[in-house]
Amino acid sequence: MAPLTPYTFFQCPCSEPSTLGRPADGSSGAGAGAEPDADDEDRAFDPRAPRSNYSLYPLEYLLYCEDCQQIRCPRCVAEEIVTFYCPCCLFEVPSSNLKSEGNRCTRSCFQCPVCIGPLATTSLESHPDPNLLAAPDNSAAPHSGPYILTCSYCNWSSTEIGIKFDKSNGIHAQLAKLRNGGTTRLTAKERKERRKDLLQGGGPATRTAEAAVDGRDLDVDTQFANLKAFYQNQLADSSSGGNGLSSLGDMGFASPSSLSRIMSIYTGGSLHDKRSKLRIGTMREALDSDEGLKIANLDESGAIEKLQEEGYDATVSAEQISNQTPNLGEAPLHGRGRFTSELRPIPYLLRTKRSKRCPICRHIISKPEAKVQATRFRIRLVAGSYIPSITIRPLNTPEASPGAPSDTLQPLKPVQFLLTFKNPIFETVKVTLATPAKTPGRFASKVTVLCPQFEIDANTDVWDEALKDGDKDKRRRRGEDGPHQAEAGKIWERGRNWVSLVIEVVPASLRLDLLALTNPTGGQEVDTGPLREDEDLLEIPMFVRVEWEADAAGDEIGSAPNKDKEGREKRELAYWCVLGLGRVSQS
């Protein structure tokens, strides 16, 4: 595993009640070693519980609502769409098109079905005519032949699925009419005509045979359209008899999961009502392919033979299949979807630019520029400029042995880390930290924060500090005075708007045989399963509480010198975060 740089994750307070306050309904299986039914307020956040993965974010992903003074994560913002656009051609799609044309680019933007690279439309000219090159007049229209889509990355081309295009533009529309292999889809009109021909040609015997054939190539789109038309007809027919309202009325059924409307038509109306009796009928079933009925074609021997002939390489991977869009121009594929010959170019999914609002006060907290090409934001209140950031680095005391690998932590050997809190706001903040003495999980490491309470100076102008440098000089240079020890209750170092302090950790031993000895759980079964993923990671849950005083209503920056107590109010912010310190060595 790659060496791990220390990291921090923040938990958005929005997920806290659900994470902690879930009733104990059998969730004990998830967090191994979680104390059952501890008081909710006492229970420490467990970064290893699978649920915590859904509430932790790096600081960069978090936003901040100034009015509610609360962190806002992607789960707790209300989104509004600014623009829809195609990520390939950057064309801005009007939102009205979305309903009719779907969520994919309907121009000529396609992804390769094999490697998802972009496909280019090229002319299929196997033998470039030398005369053509010689004559300069003709060079204006050299690409005349059929066109294909090619991938410049993996050399896939649409000839592999037997598809060529007549025109070089509007590929999406052309592709929709083509089936793999190059045959065109039957339109509804053609289908009807063909049917008529066959009906005139033969008796009932050929008619049934024809129906089977006709049903066989009934593609998804047509089947759906036929079914829809059929149902609408039936509904209109069967409910036009009654006065509409009564047919919706009598339904005292205990019928589970029934479609009450259709049910009501079935029993609907009143039986003694002569008029309605004449008219009302049940909705019948679809009877032929014009009504959307399709007899399943169970014979897949052709596909099996193909599988045997062409083998593993003719099939597509699970990832490629999952990237495919449902092919509406084809009958349901079932197993045949596995062949490379059934792949279709993937039209690009459209994307959106979204502005974000606080769900409570409806203030905008992030708003991108509407132009597709622009990457700027008009408004963006990132949490990083409101809450102190935390950076971690190992504290290399001189007596640390140089031979030890720096990227893993030795079990049962105390290590010290330096946490640096940096204050982004223009007020002095008071920070209170809390960690559980032992990290949750099977392998409990001991954690001591040497200075859990401290103040960070305001993020003042850089020049201010440079000008009144004198008195802070002593504190800042303390590191150079000599090998000074980390002392409990004292911070390590302080700067203009930052403070660093020491956290001492005794990593747990990852030996499974020691697990039962070190955890005196008193009768409880000790989980001695194998080491799970990331269980060797030393992650410390830490509760951070930030307090500061700010101007109450108007943020008048100019009136700072006269510190009017009435004009200022106390604010606080509290959240969990997770410090990832490193991996514990397993040897």
Partner 1 sequence: MASATGPPTTLPHRSVANIRSPPAAGYHGPSSGPSTPLRPITSAFASPSSLRAEEDLIIIEFGTRKLQVGFAGDAAPRGSIWFGPDHQRRVGDFRAWQTDYHDDWRKAAAGKPWGRDHELWQSDVRGLDLGLVGDKIERALRDAFSRYLLIDSRPRRVVCVLPSDLPIPLLSTALDSLFNRFQSPTVSLLSSPVASAVAAGMRSALVVDLGWSETVVTAVYEYREVNCGRTIRGGRMLVEQTHNLLAKHLPQARKETEAAHDSQQAQDYALSFEECDEITTRMVWCKPYHAATTTVTQTAEGLPTVQEHDESDARGYSTSGKAATATIPLKSAKPPTSLNLPYDLLTEPCENTFFDSRYSQSSFDDHELPVYLLVYRNLLNLPLDVRAICMSRIIFTGGCTGVLGLRKRIFDEVSHLIQQRGWDSVQGKATEQLRSNLKLNRSTRQASTGPTDAASQAGGSSGGGGGGEEQDGVWHDAANNTPEVDPIDEQLKRGGDKRPRVQGQMRALESLGAWTGASMISHLKTPAIATIGRDLWLQQGAAGASKASDVDPKTQQRQSLGAGGLIRGAAASSAWTLGVWGAN
Stretch 222-251 residues interacting with partner 1 (CB under 8 A): 223-225, 227-237, 239-241, 244-245, 248-249, 251
- Give the shortest CB-241-to-partner 1 separation in angstroms: 6
The answer to whether 293 contacts partner 1 (rule: CB under 8 A) is yes
User: Is the torsion defined by CA of 553, 556, 561, 562 positive or negative?
Assistant: negative
The answer to whether 331 contacts partner 1 (rule: CB under 8 A) is yes
Cα–Cα distances (Å) from 345 to 149, 236, 463, 544, in that order, read 8, 40, 59, 50
Amino acid at the residue 381: L
| Residue (of 85, 88, 65) closest to 354 by Cα position | 85
For partner 1, the closer CB: 456 or 577: 577
Span 514-573, contacts to partner 1 by CB under 8 A: 529-533, 535
- Give the shortest CB-411-to-partner 1 separation in angstroms: 18
The answer to whether 295 contacts partner 1 (rule: CB under 8 A) is yes
Residue 90, classed as helix, strand or coil, is coil
Span 75-134, contacts to partner 1 by CB under 8 A: 75, 77-81, 84, 98-99, 102-103
DSSP line for 477-504: GGGGGS-PPP-TTS-SEE-SSEEEEEEE
Between CA 298 and CA 518 the distance in angstroms is 61
The answer to whether 29 contacts partner 1 (rule: CB under 8 A) is yes
- Give the shortest CB-547-to-partner 1 separation in angstroms: 28
For partner 1, the closer CB: 334 or 475: 334
Amino acid at the residue 102: G
The answer to whether 307 contacts partner 1 (rule: CB under 8 A) is yes
The answer to whether 189 contacts partner 1 (rule: CB under 8 A) is no
State the DSSP code for 168: S
- Give the shortest CB-233-to-partner 1 separation in angstroms: 5
- Give the shortest CB-458-to-partner 1 separation in angstroms: 29
Choose one: 308-316, 365-373, 456-464, 491-499; the region binding partner 1 (CB under 8 A): 308-316
Alpha-carbon 526 to chain mean position = 36
Residue 455, classed as helix, strand or coil, is strand
| Residue (of 114, 111, 116, 85) closest to 98 by Cα position | 85
Exposed / middle / buried, residue 319 (Cβ in 10 Å: 0-12, 13-18, 19+): exposed
Choose one: 189-197, 317-325, 391-399, 472-480; the region binding partner 1 (CB under 8 A): 317-325
The answer to whether 332 contacts partner 1 (rule: CB under 8 A) is yes
Cα–Cα distances (Å) from 468 to 478, 499, 562, in that order, read 18, 18, 20
Backbone torsion region of residue 511, taken as left when φ is above 0, otherwise alpha when ψ lies between -120 and 50, otherwise beta = beta
Residues 6+ apart with CB under 8 A from 176: 185, 329
> How are beta strands 446-449 and 408-409 bridged, if at all?
unpaired
Choose one: 46-54, 115-123, 184-192, 428-436; the region binding partner 1 (CB under 8 A): 46-54
- Give the shortest CB-467-to-partner 1 separation in angstroms: 39
Span 267-286, contacts to partner 1 by CB under 8 A: 271, 277, 279-286
Choose one: 334-342, 477-485, 491-499, 513-521; the region binding partner 1 (CB under 8 A): 334-342
- Give the shortest CB-68-to-partner 1 separation in angstroms: 17
Span 192-221, contacts to partner 1 by CB under 8 A: 220-221
Choose one: 150-158, 253-261, 388-396, 450-458; the region binding partner 1 (CB under 8 A): 253-261
The answer to whether 60 contacts partner 1 (rule: CB under 8 A) is yes
Alpha-carbon 266 to chain mean position = 44
Size of the residue set binding partner 1 (CB under 8 A): 126
Amino acid at the residue 471: D
For partner 1, the closer CB: 9 or 165: 9
The answer to whether 177 contacts partner 1 (rule: CB under 8 A) is no
Between CA 586 and CA 534 the distance in angstroms is 12
